[in-house]
Amino acid sequence: MHNGYQTKSVTLAQGGTLSIVNLDSMEHTVTSDARDGNGNPLFNKFAAPGSTTSIPAVSQLAAGTYTFFCQFHPTVMQGTLTIEGGSGGVTPTPLKFEQPLFIPPILTGDHIRIRMKQANIRVLPHGPLTTMWTFGGTYPGPTISRLTGHDTKVTFVNGLPLRAHAVTIHFHGDHHLSKHDGQPSSYLISRGHARTYDYPLTDAGRPERAAFDWYHDHRMMETGRNVWMGLQGMFIIRDGMAAKLHLPTGRFDIPLTIANRSFTSDNQLTNPFPRHPTMAVTGAKAPPGDGTVGAQILANGRYAPFKRVSAHRYRLRLLNGSNFTSYNFRLSDGRPLVQIGTGNGLLPRPVVRQSILLGPAQRADVVVDFHGELNQRVVLETVPRTDNTHGGADTPTAQIMQFRVTSTAADSTRIPATLQRAPHIDVPTRIAKTWTFNVAGDSTSGAYWTVNGRPFDPNHVSFRVRRGTTQLWRLRNASTVTHYIHLHEEQWHTVLRDGKRPPPWERGLEDTWKLDPGETVRVAARFTDYQGLFMLHCHMLDHEDHGLMAQFRVIPPRTTSTTTSTTAAKVAQVPRPLPSLLTPLAYTRLPRLDVGDAVFSLRPQDLAARQALAQRLWMCAPRADEHGTAAA
Ligand code: C2O
Ligand code: CU
């Protein structure tokens, strides 16, 4: 792996055939940098491990030189194709920023209703609209913006096409009841039904810190498809700090969801997802080579948009909403991105950065200063990361969107030297839990991702945490590829990264960490308010859907007084809820996996059989009470 193209430069007579032989055990692509007016690469071929294919599009090209790269390994795999002689043929269209940036509608009510439905979206600048699955008819969905501490109810109505099945919505980065967390196989919203999620926006009785979170589907084994189809939106929690610190607000505060997608020649989303998904995967898409990459990078759902701005400071809320790809963001004129926060609130002090690496689900709250740039054009781009020493996830080279500085505006904003400290916790010295991420099985019988040796099992709880305790956890990547690990429910302090003090941009609170191969982070958080099941998983959605997920259960605190311990005992006696949508009968028939963390003996074929069975049962035997209330 990572040897790259053996033939780095190829010369071909016009009309000739280019063949690819993939000698590797991983999938690769041969993708041209040159594009057409919609940003479609002039050629883009996926090569399965061990396969030989040709690229028909190459035979159509005009004479010239075309650089190409692998979408999975854009930095380490690059090459050049020269087409000689001939006349006519397909020529590239230079990148133009032709369409205005879309700003999703903002919803601020205390009871918000969002209907999920199929809608046609202007994503590419030319040709037909793209059919997507949307929150409320836009992609990305509306930005929910709420004042902290103010209870917020969001009713999601499933008006999606039948093949979307039941969905479940997770408010990523927030703290709320287990049953309102978007559980992957329970509390689902089936078609024609609705579910109301309740978000108090408080923590231990106090308003939460301001944050810049997001919401998305979280259905077991189908999250990747559902997010790719469009089910993602931003959720901003405000407090008084922005005004107090004189940070840019209002029209100077821009949400930016960056996510890639691939399109067919009639502008429709490609569908790289299997009809009947399983966690154990065979063939070309088997872990560790699984990944859904898009050829076009979209900003707020549009390809190569522009935004007219003033020579003023702007706050950009950068969310990497991609299924799989990481980006190393930078501005084309070299001006710095001043990072003031993560997704989980402000940093203790601003950090001046030339580029910012964000993996899937990670966010960076940045201030960009366009003073002195009147009549200039500044492009937000992604460049290769320079810190990738372990063979981890590469970042592509591409221009994403253009800022056109077209006016001046009086500016009273500032970037203060100190921002906001993360709330103090007493970090325990003892590690309460180590979570190790790896891969198992093989591509013939089925490969899958594991957490502490086992793939996701909705019937298995990997760890119990007492409410009220402060936990020190260790996240360890034992595999050969990068993961972006997300912990639900609490917001965490990064205590150590690879045994050292974390970099300045990791000194706020976090919910998703980069773990390159061999990396370890130690994180700490206090568990407050809620009991029940919560998830942890890789946010590279192919990994999540293929097993890299586990659950922990928050259990009642240890108590000394008799009255409370009776209550605690009662709570503890409540039977473990059946996995959703399974009738009690179906549940007992389901093959059981009675393996502890220490001995792992699940055979891949068992897993596949189990998944197939579970899949059938979940689709066919819905339990009415798990399905939410009927939509009005
Ligand atoms: Cu953003 Cu568990 O998800
Ligand atoms: Cu991963």
Superfamily for the 250-408 domain? Cupredoxins -  blue copper proteins (2.60.40.420)
Q: Tokens for 175, please give them.
A: 């703290």
Coil, strand or helix at 285:
helix
Instruction: Tell me how far the alpha carbon of residue 129 lies from the centroid of ligand 2, in angstroms.
Output: 32
Q: How far apart are CA 155 and CA 345, in angstroms?
A: 25
Which atom of ligand 1 is the closest one to the Cα of 170? 3
Res 627: pLDDT:
37
The count of C-alpha atoms lying within 13 angstroms of the C-alpha of 524, restricted to the half-sphere facing its C-beta, is 18
Contact present, 80 and 10 (Cβ < 8 Å): yes
Q: List phi, psi (to 5°) of 21.
A: -115, 120
Closest listed ligand to the CA of 182: 1
Give the CATH fold of the 100-240 domain.
Answer: Immunoglobulin-like (2.60.40)
Sites in the chain below the pLDDT cut of 50: 1-2, 562-632
Does 45 contact ligand 1 (Cβ within 6 A)? no
Does the predicted TM-score (pTM) go above 0.75?
Answer: yes
Instruction: Tell me how far the alpha carbon of residue 544 lies from the centroid of ligand 1, in angstroms.
Output: 9
Helix/strand/coil (H, E, C) string of 396-447? CCEEEEEEEEEEECCCCCCCCCCCCCCCCCCCCCCCCEEEEEEEEEECCCEE
Contact present, 319 and 143 (Cβ < 8 Å): no
Q: In 164-186, which positions are buried (b, 16+ CB within 10 angstroms) versus exposed (e)?
A: bbbbbbbbbbbbbebbbbbbbbb
Let me know if the fold of 9-84 is the same as that of 100-240.
yes
Residue nearest atom 1 in ligand 1 by C-alpha distance: 172
Res 3: pLDDT:
63
Q: Which residues contact 111 (CB under 8 A, 6 or more apart)?
A: 152, 153, 154, 155
Res 49: pLDDT:
86
Q: The domain 9-84: what is its CATH number?
A: 2.60.40.420
What are the residue boundaries of the structural domains of the chain, listed by start? 9-84, 100-240, 250-408, 433-565, 593-631
Res 561: pLDDT:
56
Q: What is the pLDDT of residues 279-289, one digit of tens each?
A: 999 988 899 99
Q: What is the pLDDT of residues 129-140, one digit of tens each?
A: 999 999 999 999
Which atom of ligand 1 is the closest one to the Cα of 536? 2
Does 219 contact ligand 1 (Cβ within 6 A)? no
Q: How far apart are CA 508 and CA 423, in angstroms?
A: 9
Q: How far apart are CA 344 and CA 278, in angstroms?
A: 33
Res 579: pLDDT:
38
Distance of CA 171 to the CA centre of its chain: 12
Q: In 486-510, which positions are buried (b, 16+ CB within 10 angstroms) versus exposed (e)?
A: bbbbbbbbbbbbeeeebeebbbbbb
Contact present, 156 and 144 (Cβ < 8 Å): no
Is the domain spanning 433-565 CATH 2.60.40.420? The answer is yes
